[in-house]
A and B are shown apart, each in its own frame.
Chain A
Amino acid sequence: MVDEGLKIELGKQGVFVTTIEELYNWGRRSSIWPMQFGLACCAIEMIATTMARYDLARFGAEVFRPSPRQADMMIISGTVTKKMAPQVVRLYNQMAEPKYVIAMGACAISGGPFKQGYNVLKGIDRYIPVDVHIPGCPPRPEALIHAFMTLQKKIDGQHLTGEGRPRHLDANAPGEFPVPVQGEHDLEPRSNGLVWPLPAIKA
Chain B
Amino acid sequence: MKSVEEIKAAIEAAVPGAGVEIQVNPSVSGQHSLRLAPSHAVQVATFLRDDPEMALDFLSNATGVDWPDKEIAEKVKVTRTVTKTVDGVEQSVEETVEETKKRVAPGCLEAVYHLFSMTKGHGPVVIRMKTVNRTDQVELPSLTPVWRSAEFQEREIFDLFGIVFKGHPDLRRLLMWDEFKDHPMRRDYVEPDDFEYEPTAHDEVLKRALEDRAALAAAEAGATVAAGAAAGAEGAGAR
A: which residues have CB within 8 A of B? 82-83, 111, 115-116, 118-119, 122, 182-186, 190, 198-203
Contact = CB atoms under 8 A, between A and B. Distances in A.
A186 B210 contact: no
Contact of B184 (A118, A182, A199): A118
17 contacts: A82-B177, A83-B175, A83-B177, A118-B184, A118-B191, A122-B195, A182-B180, A184-B180, A186-B192, A198-B213, A199-B197, A199-B198, A199-B199, A200-B199, A201-B201, A201-B213, A202-B199
A195 B198 CA distance: 17
B181 A185 contact: yes
Most chain A CB neighbours (cut-off 10 Å) among B176, B177, B195, B199:
B177
User: Nearest 5 A-B pairs (CB), nearest first?
Assistant: A186-B192, A118-B191, A182-B177, A184-B181, A118-B184
A115 B199 contact: no
Nearest to B182: A185
Contacts of A184: 179-182
A108 to B, nearest CB: 16
B197 A198 contact: yes
A29 B195 CA distance: 35
A201 B216 CA distance: 14
Contact of A203 (B176, B192, B210, B216): B210
B209 interface: yes
Interface of B: 175-177, 179-182, 184, 189, 191-192, 194-195, 197-201, 206, 209-210, 213, 216
Nearest to A126: B194
A201 B194 contact: no
Given A119-B184, A186-B194, A201 B177 contact: no
A203 B202 CA distance: 8
Contacts of A202: 199-201
A183 B180 CA distance: 6
Contact of B179 (A116, A183, A199): A183
A203 B181 CA distance: 35
A200 B206 CA distance: 11
A115 to B, nearest CB: 6
A183 B194 CA distance: 14
B192 A182 contact: no
B201 A185 contact: no
B66 to A, nearest CB: 15
Contacts of A83: 175-177
Contacts of A182: 177, 179-180
A201 B182 CA distance: 30
A203 B208 CA distance: 12
